[in-house]
Amino acid sequence: MSETSSTPDSRTPAQIEADIKRRRETLADTLDEIGARVHPKTIIGDAKAKVVSNIDHTLGRAYVGANRFVTDVRGQLVSENGTPRLERIVPVALVVVGLVGLLTVSGRRRRR
């Protein structure tokens, strides 16, 4: 193959034809690959895969966070040997019962 236009090409016509044929095949393969990449089904499939991956990642992080929260709460309400810590459970239970009572009374007032 000639590097510049000032030097003569020492290839035979058969070699030039073979080179042209090889380049056409390479170009056809490249165009087929580009066509597959920009095809709407491929683009949609890639977008769906990315969304699913992001959702899986987000759900995984949420699960880890919720699990950590439950473990922390359990650590506050249960001692190391597994017995309940009544000095912490009773106040929490009273607050929960109070909130449920307030919500119940508030709901009844709205209905009237």
Q: Does any domain span residue 3?
A: no
- Reported pTM: 0.46
Q: Compute, in degrees rounded to 10, the torsion defined by CA atoms 58, 63, 66, 71.
A: -140
When pLDDT is cut at 50, 70 and 90, the band that residue 9 belongs to is confident
Residue 70, in any domain of the structure: yes
From CA 80, how far away is CA 82, in angstroms rounded?
5
Q: Is residue 49 part of a domain?
A: yes
Question: Does residue 19 share a domain with residue 67?
Answer: yes
Same structural domain for residues 63 and 18?
yes
Domain of residue 98, residue span: 83-112
Least confident of 8-12, 17-21, 22-26: 8-12
Give strand pairing partners of 103. none
Q: What is the three-class DSSP state of 39?
A: coil
Mean pLDDT of the chain: 89
Using a pLDDT cut of 90, give the percent of the chain over it: 71
On the question of pLDDT at 99 being above 70, the answer is yes
Q: Are residues 41 and 60 in the same domain?
A: yes
Q: What is the pLDDT of residue 18?
A: 96
Same domain, 57 and 34: yes
